[in-house]
Structure 1
Amino acid sequence: MDFNKQVIEEFRANNGRVGGYFEGSRLLLITTTGARSGQPHTNPVGYYPDGDGRTMIIGSAGGSPKHPDWFHNLVANPLLTVEDGVFTYEAKATVLTGEARDQAFVRAVEADAGWAEYQAKTTRVIPVVILEAVSGGPPNAKSPGEALKLVHNAFRRELELIRTEFAKSGRTLGVQLRINCLTLCAGLHNHHTGEDMAIFPFLTDKFPEFAPTIERLRAEHVRIEQLTTELRAALDNQDADPAVVLAEVERLTDELERHLDYEEAQLIPVLEAAMS
């Protein structure tokens, strides 16, 4: 419990980043309702993207004989709160069974053989749970500028994780790594669409002299969309060479990092002025 408390505090203080045992890992905080107590309980859990805004978590409990308490809580009450370091949202949990569970667990093992080691330690079938958001809100930020930086850092973090996962992937491109890349592409598309349709018109209307900067940012969005389209095309090849796909990821990373740096330098002062 002391270990969990330390991880939770560090996670919240550093927008989802932690050191120590979980450094460089995919991590969420989930708050479930106690099956017996009815009280809220928060736990750090590893996760993988599951596509279409869903998230997969696994009740390994380090291979112990019993399911983790949070799993029993979700069985009793599938509604929970999820913190990803940027957003806090309500979600509904679905416990996978049968072939769906087995296929998802295989994906996880492809991504990290440690899951198979946990399963080998116990006679219980390690559960796989899908989380799907049912409500949410804006980023956990005190200002629009801070919110923009939080979202951008989440993309930087995801690219960092994906590149690390490629380094561990070997000669084949696993299903989970494909999903991670596709989820990133979808997230970028949604973020840039939101800026194009809402933030940019608002700023252009309030600060007409800022229009040339907005046009440059729009053009950069088009370029990044082209790169994500090319990455998706590489991922569509079932026999894709990981090195070829990684090269597309690196091209996207280089372009995106320049774009994010420029956008922050230009937009954050204007956003803060617009809201002051």
Structure 2
Amino acid sequence: MVRVVDVARAVLAPLTRTRVFRRWGPIVLPSVERFVTRLTGGRVQLSGLLVPSLVLHTTGARSGEPRDAPLMYTPDGQGRAIVAGTNFAGERHPAWTTNLLAHPDAAITVRARRMRVHASLIADTERDAVWARIERQWPGYRGYERDSGRTVRLFRLQPIADDAP
């Protein structure tokens, strides 16, 4: 039996590659995402209804201030996650990628559970395999990289064990 999520992905995935979505998605979606997150106390992310989603908590590269970014992620086994800095196929890298390069120790919240992670940039030799994994989850997602004209930064987020007993 086909799951509702699979049907929704099949319908929505092509829409996310349109000019209209790329123009208005970055403007509308973050506000809607924040509203739903506040409304549910962080237990529900709008994007999480279709794909695995998390909130990445970074430290600003220049400001040193805490920054949050809701993101789609791809599970990578052993609790690890892969995130892609597609920025809706924009010409510039999203700020959260610059933050991770400057401060790779960060945190994520998944289903209202917060955990510390260490981010590492995916090596060039792994990029094709990682993109293939991502596209099994969201077909055509690498098109954002092609359309942006830049090499999208891919990160692996590795959980860090808490020091507390």
Question: TM class, shorter-chain normalised?
Answer: 0.7 to 0.9
TM-score, scaled to structure 1? 0.45
Q: Which residue of 1 aligns with 2:146?
A: 120
Question: Could you tell me which amino acid in structure 2 is paired with residue 42 of structure 1?
Answer: D
CA distance in 1, matches of 2:66, 2:133: 30
Q: TM-score when scaled to structure 2?
A: 0.73
AA aligned opposite 2:132:
V
Larger proportion of strand: 2
Match of 1:68 among 90, 94, 98: 94
Alignment of 1:95-244 (within 5 A): 95-136=121-162
Tell me, which stretches of 5 or more residues in structure 2 are unaligned? 1-26
Q: For 1:24, which of 42, 50, 55 is the aligned residue? A: 50
**DSSP-derived class of the 1:29 partner:** strand
Q: Distance between the aligned counterparts of 1:24 and 1:100, measured in 2? A: 26
Partner of residue 112 from structure 2, selected from 86, 97, 120:
86
Query: What is the aligned residue count?
Result: 136
Shift of 1:105: 1.1
Unaligned runs of 5+ in 1: 138-276
Equivalent AA in structure 1 for residue 142 of structure 2:
A
| Higher relative contact order (CA closer than 8 Å, sequence separation 6+) | 2
Which secondary structure state, in structure 2, belongs to the residue aligned with residue 17 of structure 1? coil
AA matched with 2:60:
G
Percent identity reads 24
Distance 1:15 1:71 in 2: 22
Conserved? CA contact 2:86–2:152, under 8 Å: yes
Asked if structure 2 preserves the Cα contact closer than 8 Å seen for 1:82 and 1:88, the reply is: yes
Sort the Cα spacing of 1:78 and 1:10 in 2 relative to 1 into closer, same or farther, 3 A. Answer: same
1-side partners of 2:87 and 2:53: how far apart?
15
Superposed CA offset, 1:17-43 (max 9, x none): 234x66422110011111111101101
CA-to-aligned-CA distance 1:198-252 (integer Å, 9 cap, x gap)? xxxxxxxxxxxxxxxxxxxxxxxxxxxxxxxxxxxxxxxxxxxxxxxxxxxxxxx
1:81 counterpart SS class? strand
Are the equivalent residues in 2 in contact too, given 1:46–1:57 (CA < 8 A)?
yes
- After superposing on structure 2, the runs of 4+ consecutive aligned residues of structure 1 that deviate more than 4 Å are none
Aligned 8 A contact 2:69 2:96 in 1 = yes
